[in-house]
Amino acid sequence: MQSETDEELMLQVRDGAGETLGVLFDRYHAPLFHFYTKLTGDRTLSEDLVQEVFLRILRHRQTFRDGTPFRAWIYQIARNARIDHFRKNRPQVPFEPEMAPAVLPADPAQQRQESELLHRALMELPEEKRELLVLCRFQELPYEEVARLVGCGVATVKVRIHRALQELREAFHQLQAAPANRNAQRELRPRRMGHEV
């Protein structure tokens, strides 16, 4: 079963072999969890959203068509689950410092401090840009796939990625220039966009 493609497994799930979904869960729950933690900075919420994705797969398994790339399908569900969540649950959970990956302040390694700062800069980006970076960089989806996912052209995705990186650079510089802000972490909140994605 392990050697079967995602699509083959999903077709089995669609045709009634619900237990096969366990293999897909093993393959995708960590990437989806990373996707959500990078976007929301909230570990508990990310766990809940991953569960929601698999619940939706079961509920809508009949809509999976032969020939549909599974990865694109599951990420579409994942995006919708997140959008629906924030539509139904306002006010949103603010980004708290403990949501960020654990970084030891006494760690002498500059690299780790830098990556902490970079993560905070990422959370400062508007959600639309953050999502693009997460999909292209952390999930390593090719631009073509991301373009289909967010419903725009490949060229647009590339332009947006470039802009997102420029904005990330500015946010990163601001955080570097104002170390006091790093202590005022409770004021940091992930910026959100509307639900037009």
Partner 1 sequence: MKCEEIGELLPDYLQEGLQGEKKNIVERHLANCAECSEVAGLWKKLALIPEEEPSAEGRARFEAMLQAYQTGRGDEGARRGSPDRTSLWSGWRWLRSPAGAVAWSVALVALGVFLGMQAGSTKTNLQDLAAMHTELTNMRQMVALSMLQQQSASQRLEGVTWTRREEQLDPQVLAALMRTLRYDPSVDVRLAALDALSRHAGQPQVKRTVVDALQEQQSPLVQVALIDQLVEWRDADAAAGIEKLRQEPHLNPTVRQRADWAISKLN
Query: Where do contacts with partner 1 occur on this chain (CB under 8 A)?
Result: 15-19, 21-22, 25, 29-30, 33-34, 37-38, 43, 46-47, 50-51, 54-55, 58-62, 88, 101-102, 111, 114-115, 118-119, 122, 133, 136-138, 142-143, 157-159, 161-162, 165-166, 168-169, 172
Q: Between 88 and 179, name the residue whose CB sits nearer to partner 1.
A: 88
Name the one residue in this structure whose structure tokens are 């999903």.
10
* Residue 196: CB minimum distance to partner 1, A: 19
Return the CA Rg of the chain: 18
- Helix extents (H) in 41-142: 43-59, 70-88, 110-124, 127-133
* Residue 131: CB minimum distance to partner 1, A: 14
Q: Between 59 and 195, name the residue whose CB sits nearer to partner 1.
A: 59
* Residue 88: CB minimum distance to partner 1, A: 7
* Residue 137: CB minimum distance to partner 1, A: 5
- Of 162, 186, 181, nearest to 41 (Cα)? 186
Q: Between 32 and 79, name the residue whose CB sits nearer to partner 1.
A: 32
Omega before residue 97 within 30° of 0, cis: no
Q: Between 165 and 193, name the residue whose CB sits nearer to partner 1.
A: 165
- Cα 10 from Cα 18, distance rounded (Å): 9
* Residue 46: CB minimum distance to partner 1, A: 8
